Amino acid sequence: MPAAIELIGITKRFPGVVANDDVNLRVERGEIHAICGENGAGKSTLMKILYGMQPADEGTMMIDGKEVTFTSPTDAIAAGIGMVHQHFMLADQMTVLENVILGSEPTKTGGLIDFDEAERHLREVGEAYGLTVDPGDLVETLEVGEKQRVEIIKVLFRGARILILDEPTAVLVPQEVEELFRNLRELQASGATIIFIDHKLQEVLEISDRITVIRRGKTVTTVDSSSVTAADLAELMVGSELPSPETTESTVTDVVALEVTGLTVVGDDRRPIVDNVSLTVHQGEVLGIAGIEGNGQSELIDAIIGTQELTAGHIRLMGDDITTASVRHRREAGIAFVPQDRQTDGLLLDATLWENAALGHQTKRPFSKGWWIDRAGARARTEEIRSEFDVRSPGVDVSARALSGGNQQKLIIGRELTTDPVVFVAAHPTRGIDVGAQAEVWNDIREARARGLATLLVSADLDELIGLSDTIVVMFHGRLVATLDPSEVTPRTLGSYMTGAALQPAGADQPGDHAEGGAA
């Protein structure tokens, strides 16, 4: 029987780099096939070729035994391939039904959209694959896991038999991951073929039948999931053992580096997005913030760094009130920041590495002399960052766009930690990077903590939060609802707090002084 997908000798070149170098991939019908590899290994390029987003320079693609050539995603969709992207492509102000049919609306006489037929087909798809949703629900009212279910239904509605899932668990809590995996197994039982791309190796092993490892643009091997361990996969991917985020000996001091009191942010609808949040971070401490995305973590971080206007509250840095200070003043006073979206908010992708290394610090030495940019100083500092933080690039004059995601992140972290900050605000610092780069980022945070840096860590990786944090606070509907000891909590119980299923009783004593006023 022919394979669902067979890619033979796929090669794709970009200026100065070969993204895919004679890659071979065979995915059998009805299997869940995982693809693993470092950032920059060529996974994304390969999937873009398969989905018709870019052409291969060399090689052959076979779908169900027939050779195909795609010039756009429309061709891939017509061949029965659907892709569920890491970042949801849904319109929040539209209903589930409107999102699902967008771009492929069934019509009736006169060209009007046949909503009755669309809803019938949507329910038919949902029942066939065990994916239940209410067609009339507004997307903005859905939980993250439900939104992902809508994304999957959307590609099935268009007739997809082969699904590509890109980092599907990145924003899910453990309970939602379990639900997703149940859905995927039901899809598989119904005859669907699934390609699963993920950096979380334990999840890859749990859900997949076989795994193909890609390294530096080449196929390394394909293995049965039951025959390998996470450590085996890590070694195949990066040549080293699986890293651990675990931090043990406490370095927390009595000195408060960051103090937030009664911080409130109100949205356009006049409802609080961040509701009376108070917390403190001491020198030598990592304070972790857990919460499903959309519960106020992003707005809290933005308020602390100065890009979000406060409705109420105060922020103090080393005892100084910076509530009304500019972003530049806060940066110069010692707040280092790693944004959650490195490409949009952390880098100028078409600027050189040395120009990116100066971002946010361009008024300080060695990046400037008086009013002028010091190119020699900036280049020298960037070389130091490249060396100390293992940013792999041909030189400091290449663009940030030329780097893999992991190397982009290491450049940002190096930029922030080499400016002698007093508070390090890190939002999802290892999202979308491979196990090798992840281990280096964890080590950077541990070393900064040991030097006395106060760190505020927001992460959707619950193992990372538990392993690196001295204390964890949980945000739910804009409030701090729990303060937890990482040594006494599991990812599953932490996920229960994040979804509101296991909130601490009202009036319960909260350990420490991290969640004053906002705990429930």
Annotate 443-505 with DSSP letters as a single string: HHHHHHHHTT-EEEEE-S-HHHHHHH-SEEEEEETTEEEEEE-GGG--HHHHHHHHTTTTPPP
Average pLDDT over residues 453-460: 93
State pLDDT tens for residues 157-198: 888 899 999 888 877 777 778 888 988 998 899 889 999 988
* DSSP-assigned beta bridge partners for residue 214: 219
C-alpha to C-alpha distance for 185 and 197, rounded to whole angstroms: 16
Is the previous residue joined to 366 through a cis bond, with omega within 30 degrees of 0? Answer: yes
Whether the predicted pLDDT of 209 surpasses 80? yes
Q: Both 217 and 269 in a single domain?
A: no
C-alpha to C-alpha distance for 434 and 199, rounded to whole angstroms: 6
State pLDDT tens for residues 240-253: 555 667 766 788 89
pLDDT, residue 248, reads: 66
To 10 degrees, the CA torsion angle through 85, 87, 89, 92? Answer: 150
Q: Both 356 and 299 in a single domain?
A: no
How many domains, the chain?
3
Q: Both 278 and 396 in a single domain?
A: no
pLDDT, residue 174, reads: 78
Q: What is the DSSP string of 64-108?
A: TTEEE--SSHHHHHHTTEEEE-SS----TTSBHHHHHHTTS--B-
- The angle formed by the CA atoms of residues 461, 169 and 7, to the nearest 5 degrees, is 125
Burial degree of 251 (CB within 10 A; 0-12, 13-18, 19+): middle
pLDDT, residue 242, reads: 57
Q: Both 382 and 436 in a single domain?
A: no
Structure tokens of 219? 């196929």
* DSSP-assigned beta bridge partners for residue 138: 95
Structure tokens of 104? 């492929």
Q: For residue 192, give every residue at least 6 positions away whose Cβ sits within 8 Å of its Cβ, in sequence order, or none.
A: 30, 129, 156, 160, 161, 162, 163
Q: Both 188 and 316 in a single domain?
A: no
DSSP 8-state class, residue 511: S
Q: Both 113 and 173 in a single domain?
A: yes
* DSSP-assigned beta bridge partners for residue 95: 138
pLDDT, residue 129, reads: 76
Q: Which residues of 479-510 are buried (b: 16+ CB within 10 A; e: fewer)?
A: bbbbbbebeebebeebbbbbbeeebbeeeeeb
Q: Both 225 and 135 in a single domain?
A: yes
C-alpha to C-alpha distance for 444 and 160, rounded to whole angstroms: 43
pLDDT, residue 512, reads: 39
State pLDDT tens for residues 32-70: 999 988 766 788 889 999 999 999 999 999 999 999 999
Of 181, 205, 238, the residue at which a domain comes to its end is 238
pLDDT, residue 241, reads: 58
Whether the predicted pLDDT of 518 surpasses 50? no
Phi, psi dihedrals of residue 119, rounded to the nearest 5°: -65, -40
Of 176, 210, 238, the residue at which a domain comes to its end is 238
Q: Both 225 and 132 in a single domain?
A: yes
Least confident interval from 16-30, 104-118, 271-285, 374-388 = 104-118
State pLDDT tens for residues 305-329: 999 999 999 999 999 999 999 999 9
Average pLDDT over residues 259-280: 91
Whether the predicted pLDDT of 364 surpasses 90? no
Q: How many CA atoms lie within 13 A of 217 on its CB side?
A: 13
Which pairs with CB-CB distance under 8 Å and at least 24 residues apart come from 517-520?
A: 517/261, 517/262, 517/276, 517/277, 517/278, 518/275, 518/276, 518/277, 518/278, 518/279, 518/479, 518/480, 518/481, 519/479, 519/480, 519/481, 519/482, 519/483, 520/479, 520/481, 520/482
Q: How confident is the model at residue 343 (pLDDT cuts 50, 70, 90)?
A: confident
Q: Both 26 and 159 in a single domain?
A: yes
pLDDT, residue 509, reads: 41
Q: How confident is the model at residue 89 (pLDDT cuts 50, 70, 90)?
A: confident
Whether the predicted pLDDT of 515 surpasses 60? no
Q: Both 165 and 306 in a single domain?
A: no
Q: Would you mind telling me the total number of residues written for the chain in this entry?
A: 520
- Domain of residue 28 covers 5-238
For 405, other C-beta atoms within 10 Å of its C-beta total 18
Question: Helix 144-157 crosses helix 174-189 at what angle (to 10 degrees)?
Answer: 20
Nearest to 278 by CA among 287, 270, 269, 286: 287
In CATH, what number is assigned to the domain containing residue 491?
A: 3.40.50.300
Contact 484, 472 (CB under 8 A): yes
Of 387, 403, 420, the residue at which a domain comes to its end is 420
Q: Both 376 and 284 in a single domain?
A: no
- Rg from Cα positions in the chain: 24
Q: Both 296 and 160 in a single domain?
A: no
Average pLDDT over residues 117-141: 84
Q: How many CA atoms lie within 13 A of 301 on its CB side?
A: 28
pLDDT, residue 30, reads: 94
State pLDDT tens for residues 289-298: 998 877 899 8
Q: How many CA atoms lie within 13 A of 46 on its CB side?
A: 34
Terminal-residue alpha carbon distance, the chain: 58
Q: Report the largest interatomic distance among the alpha carbons of the chain, rounded to a whole angstrom.
A: 73
State pLDDT tens for residues 458-507: 998 888 899 999 999 999 989 999 999 998 988 888 888 887 776 644 44
